[in-house]
Amino acid sequence: MEYKRITNIEDSNFKKLHDLMGKIFPPEEVLDYGLWKEPLEDPSIRVFVAIDDDQVVGATEYRYYPDWNIAMTDFTIISKPGLSLGRFLAQNRLKDLQMLAKENEKELFGMFAEIYDPYRVEHHEFGGVKVMDPYVRREVLSHLGYNRLDLAYVHPSWENNGEAVSGLDLCFMPTSDEVHSLPASLVKDFLTAYYSVLSNKPQEWLTMIDKIGNKETIELLPL
């Protein structure tokens, strides 16, 4: 299996990836095809696909923020069982991030991720792919070491229509077991930067950001 980066919208593997995203994720989570041009060419955004027999069978998008020495996993797709895709993607992603942190003369502090809470929202079937079931994905993140941030979380819809997307948790995987909370300023600055590409922010998100700004720290809770 090959772990290959996509940096151009004209890459034939990107069409396969975008088709796969459309089958797996709900519409509000998928950026329109043409809007991917700039993100793919952005050196800070890393989109990798797992290629098996010339087919895109898995993918992950993430980014590293050198100023904060943290990463964010945008998404992970596993399209079929029996290929150890989850392990393949997670290991290659971590190796890549550790390399980026080393180039930054640091050891990676940790990584953010958003995850649906199936105990609150049960209608996301992720294209009927059982390995993408929200219950399974939540437990996988827990096994990897993610914790959920102690806050009522929403994010702006990627359709940029001003709607708030709820039913998720914002999670963080510290590389040290001694980290049990995060500076609220880090969380606020990260979310503000991460969603700066979306111009139409819902009021629920703006209110959440203000509440985070009024805190000193945010606890990390079991996932």
Tell me the average pLDDT of the chain.
90
pLDDT, one tens digit per residue, over 171-210 is 999 999 999 999 999 999 999 999 998 899 999 999 999 9
Q: Provide the residue range defining the domain that includes 169.
A: 2-221
CATH code for the domain in which residue 209 is found: 3.40.630.30
Strand partners, 149: 220
How far lies 35's CA from each of 40, 47, 112, 159, 197, in Å? 9, 14, 23, 11, 11
The contacts found for 204-209 with CB under 8 angstroms, 24 or more apart, are 204/154, 204/164, 204/166, 205/154, 205/155, 205/156, 205/164, 208/151, 208/152, 208/153, 208/154
pLDDT, one tens digit per residue, over 77-121 is 888 888 889 899 999 999 999 999 999 999 999 999 998 887 776
Q: Which pair of structure tokens corresponds to residue 116? A: 């649906």
Q: Name the domain count of the chain.
A: 1
Residue 124: predicted pLDDT: 54
Q: What is the average per-residue pLDDT within 23-38?
A: 83
pLDDT, one tens digit per residue, over 50-65 is 999 999 999 999 999 9
- More confidently predicted of 52 and 25: 52
pTM score, whole prediction: 0.85
Asked if 82 contacts 52 with a C-beta cutoff of 8 angstroms, the reply is: no
Q: Is 52 exposed, middle or buried (0-12, 13-18, 19+ CB in 10 A)?
A: middle
Q: pLDDT at residue 143 above 70?
A: yes
- More confidently predicted of 159 and 38: 38
